[in-house]
């Protein structure tokens, strides 16, 4: 467990040092990870480079078999992995099951994609010519991942990348290096993936992460994480002429139009805003409500939020677990306290016990408050009044969003309003529901996925 994985070998980090992995709910030490650094990253990139062309040259069914075998290995350990995710991330069982299931499903999907057509026959550009296009691997891809869904956020990149013949150097978050890194290395080893095709260098962001992000031997760096680190990586990559792909956070919003059903919106907030303690990139912290409806909404929201149970996910039936770290808890609390000082009011919650932060609703929040302008990444809902529907939509759009929800008892009004919202994924009278869709970009247009749920079905 305390090793890194380079060129098919589990070994100690070059510096010889390790650090502890904690169970977030109890603080208990549940493992160690190798403190990889620049020397390890260098060796991993060299190994990935040597492995990539032979891997891409394999027959597609062979690469597909390796991905199926990785999936099979993870499936055989399903229950252990769910518990590992619960302990390492602090998520409740349903969150952990979703994470592990989604990761395995991604491997299975990519295993099939490996054998599908990879190209098109194009209309010929000139007479007496044949034009073809085909997908080719990018090469060696560095992957840096966050801690909140560490397994499937890694696999959503690694699995398709391997399917198409790329090789990987993964640097998982130091908060979740086992479920986000070590278990994937074990799966690659169990699946007899050729040496060097998947390398895992655990370590801190400042050491292993920085070394990987700056490495000139990569063909692409794929980074998922927060804006601060992401922007620094992008700026440095631009200076060095290196290619990066960023998946960052969002400051997402619920928009309650003047005819919204407050109870539907409140029920959606349980998962759309508070699931996994609000620690997802699509959690909607900002709830923008047309002024007349604020009182009814506060009543509905308080009623449902009061039913939530907070505690150790391993200890029984709870809805919310711990915040991932004291640093993050203190940041959440500072944002709440700051809002109170600026005139917001706590309707419910606002306190914590250790890492267990109470689900919190703040009202009287104005658009200048940091709790509104920043991604909170905690179990905090802010209520901000808008004069009318137009203002509510404009306020939502004033910050970058990944996910948004619009509430209206008139589905068509809701659908029209959704079209005016600038989030990659918009739901009408629903939240976080993943109607089988993901945000995508194809270069010149922005694809928006809209999920509609009949009111009667809610
Ligand atoms: P983070 O940006 O602090 O860390 C992400 C990764 O970057 C970690 O592996 C970390 O070790 C590494 N890192 C830190 N400093 C680095 C540096 N200087 N150079 C290179 N790597 C470095 O983010 P986090 O706290 O782990 O995750 C939470 C954030 O991730 C939130 O903002 C959330 O919205 C975002 N997120 C986005 C998505 C998405 O799909 N868009 C998914 C999940 C989380």
The pTM of the full predicted model, rounded to 2 decimals, is 0.94
**pLDDT at site 455:** 64
Using a 10 angstrom Cβ sphere, with 0-12 exposed, 13-18 middle and 19 or more buried, the burial of residue 397 is middle
281 flagged as catalytic? yes
pLDDT at 441: 34
**Mean pLDDT of the 102-113 span:** 95
**HSE (CB half, 13 Å, CA atoms) of 205?**
16
How remote is the CA of residue 68 from the centroid of ligand 1, in Å? 28
Instruction: Provide the pLDDT for residue 126.
Output: 82
Flag whether pLDDT at 435 surpasses 80.
no
pLDDT of residue 360 exceeding 70: yes
Point out the domain boundary residue: 247, 264, 286: 247
* Dist. CA 147 → ligand 1 center (Å): 7
* pLDDT 10s digits, 17-64: 999 999 999 999 999 999 999 999 999 999 999 999 999 999 999 999
Give the burial class of 415: count Cβ atoms within 10 A of its Cβ; 0-12 exposed, 13-18 middle, 19 or more buried.
middle
Q: Give the pLDDT band (50/70/90) at residue 439.
A: very low
C-alpha distances in Å from residue 415, one per residue of 164, 273, 412, 453: 37, 21, 5, 11
CATH number at residue 215: 3.40.605.10
Q: Does 307 lie in the same domain as 169?
A: no
**Do 117 and 218 sit in the same domain of this protein?**
yes
Residue 277: both structure tokens together: 């303690």
Average pLDDT over residues 291-299: 95
Residue 128 falls within a domain, yes or no?
A: no
Which candidate, 434, 441, 422, places its Cα nearest to that of 253? 422
Which bin fits 165, alpha (ψ -120 to 50), beta or left (φ > 0)?
A: left
Q: How confident is the model at residue 438 (pLDDT cuts 50, 70, 90)?
A: very low
Question: Among residues 247, 374, 375, 391, which one is catalytic?
Answer: 247
Q: Which residue of 221, 222, 226, 234 sits with most ligand 1 atoms within 8 Å of its CB, as the best mutation to test the pocket?
A: 226
Ligand 1 nearest atom to the CA of residue 247, by list position: 41
Please tell me the distance between residue 247's alpha carbon and the centre of ligand 1 in angstroms. Answer: 9
- Ligand 1 centroid to Cα of residue 280, in Å, is 11
DSSP string computed for 157-221: HHHHHHHTT-EEEEE--TTSTIIIIIHHHHHHHHTTPPTTSEEE----IIIIIHHHHT-TT-SEE
Q: Are strands 140-144 and 167-171 parallel, antiparallel or unpaired?
A: parallel
- 423: domain CATH number? 3.40.309.10
- The one catalytic residue among 88, 174, 268, 281: 281
Domain limits for position 422? 252-457
**Number of domains the chain contains:** 2
pLDDT digits (tens, 9 = 90+) for 221-245: 999 999 999 999 999 999 999 999 9
| Whether 240 and 266 share a structural domain | no
Q: How far apart are alpha carbons 198 and 189 in whole angstroms?
A: 9
Atom of ligand 1 nearest to the CA of 147: 26
Q: Do both 236 and 278 map to the same domain?
A: no
């Amino acid at each position: 467990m305390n090793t890194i994985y380079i060129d098919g070998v589990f070994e100690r980090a070059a510096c010889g040092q390790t650090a502890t992995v904690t169970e977030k709910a109890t603080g208990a030490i549940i493992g160690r990870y190798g403190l990889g650094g620049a020397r390890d990253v260098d060796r991993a990139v060299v190994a990935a480079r040597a492995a990539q062309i032979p891997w891409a040259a394999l027959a597609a069914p062979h690469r597909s078999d390796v991905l199926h075998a990785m999936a099979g290995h993870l499936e055989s350990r399903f229950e252990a992995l769910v518990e590992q995710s619960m302990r390492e991330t602090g998520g409740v069982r349903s969150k952990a099951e979703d994470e592990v299931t989604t990761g395995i499903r991604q491997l299975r999907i990519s295993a099939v994609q490996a054998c599908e057509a990879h190209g098109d026959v194009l209309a010929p550009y000139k007479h007496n010519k044949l034009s073809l296009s085909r997908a080719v691997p990018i090469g060696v891809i560095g992957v840096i991942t966050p801690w909140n869904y560490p397994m499937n956020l890694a696999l959503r990149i690694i699995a398709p990348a391997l399917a198409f013949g790329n090789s990987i150097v993964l640097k998982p978050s130091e908060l979740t290096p086992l479920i986000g890194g070590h278990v994937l290395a074990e799966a690659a080893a169990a699946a007899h993936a050729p040496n060097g095709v998947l390398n895992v260098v655990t370590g801190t962001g400042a050491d292993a992460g920085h070394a990987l992000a700056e490495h000139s031997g990569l063909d692409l760096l794929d980074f998922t994480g927060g804006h601060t680190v992401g922007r620094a990586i992008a700026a440095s990559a631009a200076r060095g002429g290196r290619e990066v792909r960023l998946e960052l956070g969002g400051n997402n919003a619920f928009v309650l139009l003047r005819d919204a059903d407050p109870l539907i919106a409140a029920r959606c907030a349980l998962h759309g805003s508070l699931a996994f303690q609000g620690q997802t990139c699509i959690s909607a912290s900002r709830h923008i409500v047309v002024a007349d409806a604020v009182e009814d909404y506060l009543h509905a929201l308080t009623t449902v939020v009061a039913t939530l149970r907070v505690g150790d996910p391993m200890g029984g039936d709870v809805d919310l677990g711990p915040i991932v770290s004291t640093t993050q808890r203190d940041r959440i609390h500072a944002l709440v306290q700051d809002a109170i000082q600026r005139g917001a009011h706590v309707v419910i919650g606002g306190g914590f016990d250790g890492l267990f932060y109470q689900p919190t609703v703040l009202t009287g929040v104005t658009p200048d408050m940091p709790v509104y302008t920043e991604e909170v990444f905690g179990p905090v809902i802010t209520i901000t009044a808008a004069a009318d529907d137009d203002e509510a939509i404009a306020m939502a759009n004033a910050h970058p969003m990944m996910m948004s929800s619009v509430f209206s008892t008139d589905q068509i009004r809701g659908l029209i309003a959704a079209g005016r919202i600038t989030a990659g994924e918009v739901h009408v009278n629903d939240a976080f529901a993943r109607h089988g869709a993901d945000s995508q970009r194809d270069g010149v247009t922005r694809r928006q996925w809209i999920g509609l749920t009949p009111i009667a079905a809610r």
